Amino acid sequence: MKLNFTLIAALIAAFTFTPVSFAKTQEQKIEEIAQLLRDNGEIVDSLHESLELYIEQRDGFEKTLADNHDYMFNNPDIPWFGAANPKLTIAVFTDLSCPWCKKLDPVLHQIVKELPNDIKVVNLYVPLKERGNGSNSATFALNVWKGDNDKFKQVEKTMMSKPGIHNARSIMKVATTNDVAQYVSTDDASTAIVEKNYELFMKLGASGTPAILIDGEVIPGYMPFEDLFPLVQQKLKELETQ
């Protein structure tokens, strides 16, 4: 049984790797897969089921992106920074209470600093560590973004700089320091955005924060500047050749 799972995983990987992954042509790989199936007939049914599931998930992923493109990338109610007319927009499922999100935030700002006319970053708040609290760091930040945008940058920076998980006390401290205490409240519109973000987070297959959505691909977890910046540059080159 373990061998069967190994073969199935290998065959699925062969279907899903990008064309540049191997020097072999697609026809060569298809023939090798066909031969593997002929030699291991007992895995055909399981592989067929797995491939159907993969295609269903892929199609669902692409449909979710298409149906929610404007919500994620062109939504004035969702915080963003960078170019107003970018060549590439990066959407990040992030949590103001997540240590790795806090570490990723300056990386994203550095990328925008390096490519100010090319890159826009959208922050899709998913307060996993505060989920269930009606008033949390995400709804507070969204309220400030909408109600006092001039103060938002400093508020978010302060929120990101605090180690650990936010609570009512830490949120109020940030609010009073920045004279925005009136936005520490439950707001139906901000709550709806957070719930929508969480729904998309789940539908796109993310399992934790941060999750970076870039050019139709979800990259899980933190990436340092030296890894993420070359990837962004490569995506820009690909877009220029399309």
Mean pLDDT of the chain: 86
Q: Using CA atoms in the order 235, 236, 240, 241, what is the torsion angle rounded to 10 degrees?
A: -30
Q: Which amino acid is at 36?
A: L
- The residue among 80 and 4 whose pLDDT is bigger is 80
pTM of the model: 0.76
Residue 36 has pLDDT above 80, yes or no: no
Query: Is residue 23 predicted with pLDDT exceeding 80?
Result: no
The 10s digit of each residue's pLDDT in 169-228 is 999 999 999 999 999 987 899 999 999 999 999 999 898 999 999 999 999 999 999 999
CB atoms within 10 A of CB 138: 29
Numbered ranges of CATH 3.40.30.10 in the chain: 81-241
Residues 56 and 63 sit within 8 Å (Cβ to Cβ) = no
CB atoms closer than 10 angstroms to residue 79: 20
Distance CA 81, CA 79 (A): 7
166-170, 186-190, 229-233 — which is least confidently predicted? 186-190
Question: What pLDDT digit, counting tens, does each position of 100-152 carry?
Answer: 999 999 999 999 999 999 999 999 999 998 877 667 999 999 999 999 999 99
- Residue 20 has a pLDDT of 47
| Residue among 144, 148, 177, 151 nearest 162 (CA) | 177
Phi/psi class of residue 205: alpha, beta or left (left: φ > 0; alpha: ψ in -120 to 50)? left
User: 81-241 — its CATH code?
Assistant: 3.40.30.10
Position with higher pLDDT, 14 vs 231: 231
Greater confidence (3 vs 146) lies with 146
